[in-house]
Amino acid sequence: MKRFAILTSGGDAPGMNAAIRACVRTGIYRGAEVIGVQHGYDGLQGAEFQTMCSQDVGAIIARGGTILRSARSKSFREPEGRKKAYEAMSSQGIEALIAIGGDGTFAGAAVLYEEFGIPVIGIPGSIDNDIPMTDYSIGFHTAVDTALGAIDKVRDTAYSHERVFVVEVMGRSCGFIAVEAGLAGGAEAILIPEIPFDLESVCDKLDEGRKKGKKSSIVVVAEGATKATDVCDFIASRTGYEARYLVLGHMQRGGSPSAFDRVLATRMGSAATNMLLDGAEEGYVCLRGSEVVLQSYRDGLSATRPVDPERLRLAEVMSL
């Protein structure tokens, strides 16, 4: 293996740059040539390639976003798009690929490998933390800290004005950010897409809290569960309490990565590169306990990743 490419695809996540840096520097250390691809799978089809040297990734470990840019490619979902990508890689002598992203990125990586036999190793980068078989994906820890910072600030003003605040965090089909930030922020209720909820019961709980002297409350909502504005309106009309809402949105995807995400990204980037250069052909790296291991796409992507019900139960007990 002499020449391999790296790209970032799907929603960006803090720590993707640290992973790029680790791939580039490990690749160069091992004597390989590393090609950066701009704009994810779109750039792979359009041959947006550039050789990367060690200095190209200098000082990016602390930067959020991705220096390679990212995209959610529609054309790569079609066989013609993937053929174009394969031809662009072959014409430049690129023998393998590292793809940093979420489950959509890995689905594309798996098909590229199956159709053309080109080795593709994935690195999990997604604030949602919804990638099966890995304890953490890059960016989750930082996004939770961002959401928590907002919840803590909102709690101050909620206390002063004796209000209910509904905070909406990201998570289109999963509640990992909501559960983690809600538990850490002492939320009175956490609503996630995976578990059915009842807004009447949420209001009952807020009523019980008021009876015990609790004058302000925080409700954390994952975007895939419901809209913060609807929850806010429901609570205000059902209880008569003053309620406000805050939608955090894309600010959760940005910012300087936490130490945890930098170290995770560095370990995963380096492990993925070593695995590729040692002959691994398909699969994505996962953190399991303290180890970074390789997981095949087929078994990994067909697995589920449930939220930890114990954390939700704990949040419930803590907010009595």
User: Given the rule CB under 6 A, which residues bind ligand F6P?
Assistant: 11, 102, 126-128, 170-172, 223, 253
Q: Which is nearer to ligand F6P, 9 or 270 (CB)?
A: 9
Reply yes or no on whether 42 is catalytic: no
The residue annotated as part of the active site, out of 12, 42, 128, 145, is: 128
Q: How far apart are CA 70 and CA 129, in angstroms?
A: 18
Tokens matching residue 198? 């009842």
Nearest approach, Cβ of residue 173 and ligand F6P (Å): 8
- Which amino acid is present at 2? K
Q: Which is nearer to ligand F6P, 102 or 119 (CB)?
A: 102
Distances in Å between the alpha carbon of 65 and those of 9, 14, 58, 79, 88? 11, 6, 15, 29, 26
Distances in Å between the alpha carbon of 151 and those of 39, 56, 208? 33, 37, 22
Length of the chain: 320
Q: Which is nearer to ligand F6P, 225 or 287 (CB)?
A: 225
To 5 degrees, how large is the angle CA 60–CA 4–CA 104? 75
Q: Which is nearer to ligand F6P, 26 or 146 (CB)?
A: 146
Nearest approach, Cβ of residue 206 and ligand F6P (Å): 27
Nearest approach, Cβ of residue 130 and ligand F6P (Å): 8
Nearest approach, Cβ of residue 11 and ligand F6P (Å): 3
Q: Where are the beta strands (DSSP E) in the chain?
A: 3-8, 33-37, 49-52, 96-101, 120-124, 164-169, 189-191, 217-222, 243-247, 282-288, 291-295
Distances in Å between the alpha carbon of 21 and those of 52, 242, 252, 259, 273? 10, 48, 22, 15, 11
Per-residue DSSP letter, 258: P
Q: Which is nearer to ligand F6P, 101 or 119 (CB)?
A: 101
Number of neighbouring beta carbons within 10 Å of residue 1: 15
Pairing status of strand 49-52 against strand 164-169: unpaired
* Spatial contact of 82 and 76, defined as CB atoms under 8 Å apart: yes
Nearest approach, Cβ of residue 223 and ligand F6P (Å): 6
Q: Which is nearer to ligand F6P, 161 or 250 (CB)?
A: 250
Nearest approach, Cβ of residue 82 and ligand F6P (Å): 21
Its sign, for the CA torsion 242, 220, 311, 149, is negative
Catalytic center residues: 128
